[in-house]
Structure 1
Amino acid sequence: MVETIKSRANELFPGVAIAGLVAISAQFLNEHYGAPAMLMAILLGMPLHFLSEETRTSEGIAFSAKTLLRIGVALLGVRISVEMVQSLGLPFLLLVVAGVFATIGFSLLVGRLFGKDRLFSFLSGGAVAICGASAAMAIGSILPKRENAERDLAFTVITVTVLSTMAMIFYPIVTSYLGLTMDETGVFLGGTIHDVAQVVGAGFSVSEETGDLSTLVKLIRVTLLAPIVLIAALILRKGMDPGASRPPLMPGFVIAFLVLATLNSFELIPDLIKDTASQVSRWALLAAIAAVGMKTSIPKLLEVGGPAIWMVVTQTAFLALFVLAGIWLIG
């Protein structure tokens, strides 16, 4: 048993170590130059595609892209609590939830107009609606195996991260021009920007109060990741051929996410463990996305085409207009 574990660890170490080094590099660029860490991780990983085909590193890179991803998503649960959801207020809470489901539904409806199937529409729509790169990787992990799955995942991560960064810059300007209050601005930023880091950047650029509220709204969207992944897994199981490999009825990382969120709601997780889990989650996701980049062929990525880019832009615009209309109606 010990020998088996040791052998497996030796097999995985080179690839995991490389994914970790790319993650550290991405974090360095984020801290010193303000570049989005998730975007940097995948872009730095892509030129290293040859390592995913190298015998010594392929297993570790595959492990990072799949298992580390699930660990990172599961540990996001320590940041979620029932009290957080209740503090927003029912009207805005319903608006945020409706925005997530409406965006995914809209994505499934317009996918064919852009020449994309329902799986790609759900992948990109979920990433836009919930929490950007993290949602894309979580959803990608439960989709049926198919050709170009990794290419589509990498494309989605890059596109939503770029759009999220642009939103971080321009959305605060838009809210100021529209004359939204601090609370309304917080709801808009948290309810529309894809990635958590960019929500924090946009919110606190307006004010500390707006930053706190926008982060809260964003984490409520993150809360919806688990039930949406669960519902999707159930639907996908029913729609597959009896002999096909089916996704699990209840993915383990979703169970872990829900358990941690429940424990956090009852304040059963000490602050030290919570902070540590948050850091582990961030680094696991960075390493996972770096590995996804390494498994992505740049020529194949270019095959996705311009319509897919416009599809994600359209999804982003729909979510922004939906939330903005809801804010005006509530206000």
Structure 2
Amino acid sequence: MSSKAPDPRLFAGDLFGEVYQAELVAQPQRVTMGVLLPGLVTCLIASLAAMWLAEHYGFPAILLGLLIGLALHFLSDHPALGAGLDFAARHFLRIGIVLLGLQVTLMQIGAIGWIPFAGLLAIMAAAFGAGMLGAKLSGQGRYAGILAGGATAICGASAALALYSVIGRDRLDQARFTITLVGVALASALALSTYPLIAETLGLDATAAGYLVGASIHDVAQAIGGGYAISDAAGAQATIIKLARVALLAPVVALVALWLGEAGASGESRKPMWRRISMPWFIIAFLALVLVNSFVSMPGCVAENGLAASKFLLLLAVTATAMRSRLSLLLEAGWRPLVPVITATLASFAMALFVATMLI
């Protein structure tokens, strides 16, 4: 089909122009670098500002990217910026999640031991359950609970972005999704500030303290940093536990996709299980990269640079998502979308503390 605009003379009887405008919208638009560049540059500048503020004032870059993006939401109304912002929010997110696979190996997961790993599964289940309960109590619906519980249970904003790609905008509007991202980022920052202090106050040894921090703090970098804030041994333990949570991103997304497929199917319309999963390609690529990283020896700089690239791409995606959010809808939503994040965070910490003190 040609992308040439329709001849206006063919719409002489269209007094108010609705038919002509509809024809214009229906025409496929060719996406080129020139179309994407204004939005990408705007997103890049906002993200670099967030990184500068994070470096100089000690706040999480993801949280600052969200706040700066929300402050600049009015820019997304400009027709020249929309395509680039949408591209950043969608594609940078996916590549960033794939690169997280460079941080995990199957051997790291196996080194945890079955009791700590079972405890980790219990902590994640508690976060999911509490998120669902909080969503029900606050009237947000089960999808908001899945999003908040999954983000808390796995790896914060990156898990929320991955789960939202499966849940979809038709089930959960972007305003509540953005508020969930803000809540998760705030909760992770508060956890980084308080959980290491709690571990030291309770007199936990390095293994238990590292387990507590690694199993309950949302963001990857903050969980690892929180462990090393206690001691090197606690940091090493927190790293292993946190990366085990990251490795479970793919199975959790697959289970959520399967559950959503079950919920949407009935009777003879049910498809085979493998067709109902509908795994996003980037989750499959993430899992493949984990397998490659497990059996192929890679230089340490690959994992280090991969983590840096992943964090930067996820920052770009989060900033672009916030810029595309409608602030009026966020204000209308109020505080209720934060309830699932709060309940999931509290349940995750309580269960992690129990496992760390009683089983580790």
1:101 equivalenced with 2:130 (yes/no): no
Q: Aligned letter for 1:298?
A: L
Match of 1:276 in 2: 305
Match of 1:56 in 2: 80
User: Aligned-pair distance for 1:83?
Assistant: 1.3
Match of 1:3 in 2: none
1:156 equivalenced with 2:174 (yes/no): no
Counterparts in 2 of 1:233 and 1:31: CA distance versus 1, 3 Å = same
Match of 2:320 in 1: 291
User: Aligned-pair distance for 1:54?
Assistant: 1.5
1:322 equivalenced with 2:354 (yes/no): no
Q: Distance in 2 between matches of 1:275 and 1:197?
A: 12
Q: Aligned letter for 2:355?
A: G
Partner SS for 1:261? helix
Listed as ranges, the matches of 1:24-35 within 5 Å are: 24-35=48-59
Q: Distance in 1 between matches of 2:47 and 2:162?
A: 18
Q: Give CA deviations for 1:102-137 in whole Å, capped at 9, x if unaligned.
A: 321332244211211011110111111111111111
User: Aligned-pair distance for 1:213?
Assistant: 1.3
User: Aligned-pair distance for 1:150?
Assistant: 1.5
1:306 equivalenced with 2:330 (yes/no): no
Does the aligned pair in 2 maintain the 1:143–1:247 contact within 8 Å?
Answer: no
Query: Which of 17, 39, 46 is 1:22 aligned to?
Result: 46
Listed as ranges, the matches of 1:1-331 within 5 Å are: 8-146=32-170, 149-240=173-264, 249-331=278-360
Match of 2:16 in 1: none
Counterparts in 2 of 1:18 and 1:207: CA distance versus 1, 3 Å = same
Higher mean displacement: 100-109 or 281-290:
100-109
Q: Aligned letter for 1:74?
A: V
Does the aligned pair in 2 maintain the 1:142–1:247 contact within 8 Å?
Answer: no
User: Aligned-pair distance for 1:237?
Assistant: 2.5
TM-score scaled by structure 2? 0.85
Q: Distance in 2 between matches of 1:281 and 1:266?
A: 21
User: Aligned-pair distance for 1:270?
Assistant: 4.1
Q: Give CA deviations for 1:268-321 in whole Å, capped at 9, x if unaligned.
A: 444444333322211110100000110112221122223332332121111111
Specify every segment of 5 or more residues in structure 1 that has no aligned partner in the other structure, as ranges.
Answer: 1-5
Q: Distance in 2 between matches of 1:186 and 1:262?
A: 25
Q: Indicate the structure (1 or 2) with the bigger Cα radius of gyration.
A: 2
Specify every segment of 5 or more residues in structure 2 that has no aligned partner in the other structure, as ranges.
Answer: 1-29, 270-274
Does the aligned pair in 1 maintain the 2:159–2:249 contact within 8 Å?
Answer: yes
Q: Distance in 1 between matches of 2:341 and 2:31?
A: 43
Q: Aligned letter for 1:125?
A: G
TM-score scaled by structure 1? 0.92
Q: Structure 1 vs Structure 2: percent identity of aligned residues?
A: 35
Match of 2:11 in 1: none
Q: Distance in 1 between matches of 2:331 and 2:217?
A: 25
Does the aligned pair in 1 maintain the 2:149–2:340 contact within 8 Å?
Answer: no
Counterparts in 2 of 1:308 and 1:180: CA distance versus 1, 3 Å = same
